[in-house]
Structure 1
């Protein structure tokens, strides 16, 4: 059984996660979405060069969200500065504006995200955080998981 550390990264599975991300990216570039996957592109906050990562686009009650299951990673920091990015699936590119949610507004979104993708990202949330976790638990972990509402540009 693999263990995870406080940074929510598998100690023994980092290589397999990188391979998985490459596969998801290749599929999205080819126009095949794996349960909502997209390629997120955001200009770098220092260089201005576009940076890309695979992400899971979540739809809840007709609204779209990006959740960062690995926490305050580079794409999150870049999106906070630029507040705009692009989502790509195949040749279709959508420019969007991002609005970061407050921690108080995250529990329902985190719950929906875990319901859909716990099989992929659940380990980053820890053993105590599940789709059916109480709201208090989700509020407790909310500061560690940035969530952005996606608006058309």
Structure 2
């Protein structure tokens, strides 16, 4: 039996130093996996934009490898993705690859002449500490915005 392992549109994949993080921005669920030689080809295919967050996986592969089985079970149980059985009536599921888009990224703001790096700065402040006299001998004055 063959399946499609399909990640949800809101799930992000990040790999670094032999560890993989899957994070679902919609529900806040996350899982961290050690990248093993067994799951590496599946992660490579899932990260490939052309595969639309879907990879084919067989029941035999899952049953024969405990790392792969754990990987798939954790994805499904944490609502990071789903397993869809392949049959004659089922087409390959797709998910749009999530792209990080920071509207107020410093590099983006520098390229746009009519925008300022400090625009809307006060909306991001939660507190300001002012030291009077240039030293720390006086208690700070807290201004809560």
What range is the shorter-chain TM-score in?
under 0.3
Structure with greater helix share of residues? 1
Structure having the higher Rg: 2
